[in-house]
Structure 1
């Protein structure tokens, strides 16, 4: 599957989540369960609501915080660095995207959630590895943009607590849904810039907000004559992490569309993010561009330290996978061969990380063509727990495999084998002839 985003009204985190759930409403229950696995948003409740703006129909994604007692402003991104240089009040933007008016009784609240604490909580959570990787990647984009605005480092960026929890919920929700959909390619059409001013603790700033400008670098943009804040920093961070501009080349079949709405009404324009889902017509296996292959050998580093280096490399958002294997080197010495698959545009950065994390003194780099099978995620519920399957379209037919992490809490090989058969039966009953 390939997904193209059409930011008709703009782009915000909640609009993105709403569009994905409008495409796959069956994932809503699994998302609610997944959000409870992340401690920083333990008091957050999310709702998927149908929406009709008089022209188009779709969905809205609303966040409720138990401590605040009401649906809170969504995706305001009230974030600033650790010294409080920036405090966005996006409720003053001309056309808010899916956000209620900000409750200014919280404006003097000075607690912060540091980016490093968000990252550490993600790594400690029970969320699956791919969701953690995607969420970390989006947050890194956001922290890097804020650091550039304020002349500091991402490690020193903190997010205002009142404005953070809803954006955290959006980003974690987006990451989990990206994992479930398993799309081979994401793209986005021209992004509306908007216009006007945004009120901050230090005066008025232009729209798009400074962090959003950094995040939208190299994206195609348009001015459609509709002002206000059309793209929020969280929305821009998702685009910067996930999307390439334009559409993927070649013949495709349009399979579905969906709409994720914000609450603000735009003059003469639906305030929605439209999603288009495609499948390749010509072949089951889809050509997925290129991948950077980086390799080296290591003969003077302990196994413990190599394991830590591999974990750090694998957690990078620009790394697709890391493989290590034993090989024989000069004089018959046992060595470790390390192979890293990475984003081709980031190959130099990844090579530098390999040279820092390991004791090797050289890295070989090449670019390889990559073929991937179409795949998607599916979930089943049993005794109140959500289990995830990966569905893969092979030339001989579709296969389904239970994610191994789903069985980590089940003791005993026989018990796991029995549970796996039971869950496979539930999946077949749910999907019918699709398997």
Structure 2
């Protein structure tokens, strides 16, 4: 799979590290990887097309900068966006299962939505089968999860790591009214994860972003403890979110690492130098012939 710098393509990726500098959402996750692998956009569009969503949907990845950093922003354009969605989980599950998605992408998509459904069920005190998605049932959220599923499927044999997550502050307006941040579903999804409060207001980890992390943790071995692992840096990607933060760029960074010793920046060459005195050309010719052989 080609990377930003062609020379990097010869280095196998063995681990991926997510840094939620600004936070994490579904579109930020897609943006960060598309910053390095824009060719995955074709696979994402194919998956979206197979879902046969009720509205005409376009998705793209565009270069984006905030005057401090430059990266990529994943955009989803819904022809007829609704103010509110009511998507029963069981209906959505059937649609996903019947879409004809590649098996790995299908299992990733179902897995991420299952994480969301289980968290919502606990928050509202109902069975997962009775969950009705609102914000995460919107067309753009479905596309974000499809994109994440394609990306995860494209990196099958890697270790996943994650830095500390930003806590966020304040409230968010939902179909259930105002909710404290982090949202209750996010709190349920990310039990056991390490957080830090950087003083920034607003939602820093969305339910979709939290579900992706929980899926990676339970199904792909995501860890927040990379201590002691020696590895070589290959490249990194920056994915922008839509919000603006007060004191930092709203980005998610993904860093690609290769195994230690697999380096394109180092090559050792051995040089032998010596001086020869008082030798005839005939003797030197014989000596050179031996060296060449």
Any gaps of 5 or more consecutive residues in structure 1?
69-105, 284-435
Residue of structure 1 in register with 2:120 after alignment: 146
Find the aligned partners of 1:56 and 1:161 in 2 and give their Cα distance: 29
Residue of structure 2 in register with 1:58 after alignment: 71
User: Which of 75, 88, 111 is the aligned partner of 1:137?
Assistant: 111
Residue of structure 1 in register with 2:33 after alignment: 20
Find the aligned partners of 2:187 and 2:24 in 1 and give their Cα distance: 13
In 2, are the aligned partners of 1:187 and 1:248 still within 8 Å (CA)?
Answer: no
2:144 maps to 1:170: yes
CA RMSD of superposed structures (Å): 2.0
Find the aligned partners of 1:163 and 1:53 in 2 and give their Cα distance: 29
Structure 1 residues 276-308: Cα deviation after superposition (integer angstroms, max 9, x where no partner): 01111258xxxxxxxxxxxxxxxxxxxxxxxxx
Structure 1 residues 118-173: Cα deviation after superposition (integer angstroms, max 9, x where no partner): 22112111210000111111101111110010000111111238952111100011
Structure 1 or 2: larger strand share?
Answer: 1
2:86 maps to 1:112: yes
User: Which of 274, 278, 299 is the aligned partner of 2:257?
Assistant: 278
Runs of 4+ in 1 over 6 A off after TM superposition: none
In 2, are the aligned partners of 1:3 and 1:183 still within 8 Å (CA)?
Answer: no
Find the aligned partners of 2:176 and 2:108 in 1 and give their Cα distance: 32
Aligned pair in 2 of structure 1 residues 183, 261: CA closer, same or farther (>3 Å)? farther
In 1, are the aligned partners of 2:43 and 2:150 still within 8 Å (CA)?
Answer: no
Measured after TM superposition, the shift of residue 220 of structure 1 is 0.6
In 1, are the aligned partners of 2:134 and 2:175 still within 8 Å (CA)?
Answer: no
Find the aligned partners of 1:5 and 1:41 in 2 and give their Cα distance: 33
Find the aligned partners of 2:157 and 2:36 in 1 and give their Cα distance: 13
Find the aligned partners of 1:180 and 1:203 in 2 and give their Cα distance: 38
In 2, are the aligned partners of 1:18 and 1:48 still within 8 Å (CA)?
Answer: yes
Residue of structure 1 in register with 2:172 after alignment: 198
Find the aligned partners of 1:133 and 1:249 in 2 and give their Cα distance: 32
Aligned pair in 2 of structure 1 residues 143, 248: CA closer, same or farther (>3 Å)? farther
Residue of structure 2 in register with 1:237 after alignment: 211
Find the aligned partners of 2:227 and 2:114 in 1 and give their Cα distance: 26
Residue of structure 2 in register with 1:34 after alignment: 47
Find the aligned partners of 1:231 and 1:52 in 2 and give their Cα distance: 21
Aligned pair in 2 of structure 1 residues 248, 35: CA closer, same or farther (>3 Å)? farther
Find the aligned partners of 1:163 and 1:131 in 2 and give their Cα distance: 18
Normalising by structure 2, what TM-score? 0.78
User: Which of 163, 187, 196 is the aligned partner of 1:213?
Assistant: 187
Measured after TM superposition, the shift of residue 199 of structure 1 is 2.4
Residue of structure 2 in register with 1:269 after alignment: 248
How does 1:11-410 map onto structure 2 within 5 Å? 11-40=24-53, 43-68=56-81, 106-107=82-83, 112-160=86-134, 164-242=138-216, 243-247=222-226, 249-281=228-260
Any gaps of 5 or more consecutive residues in structure 2?
1-13, 217-221, 263-293
Measured after TM superposition, the shift of residue 181 of structure 1 is 2.4
Aligned pair in 2 of structure 1 residues 193, 26: CA closer, same or farther (>3 Å)? same
Find the aligned partners of 1:219 and 1:17 in 2 and give their Cα distance: 21
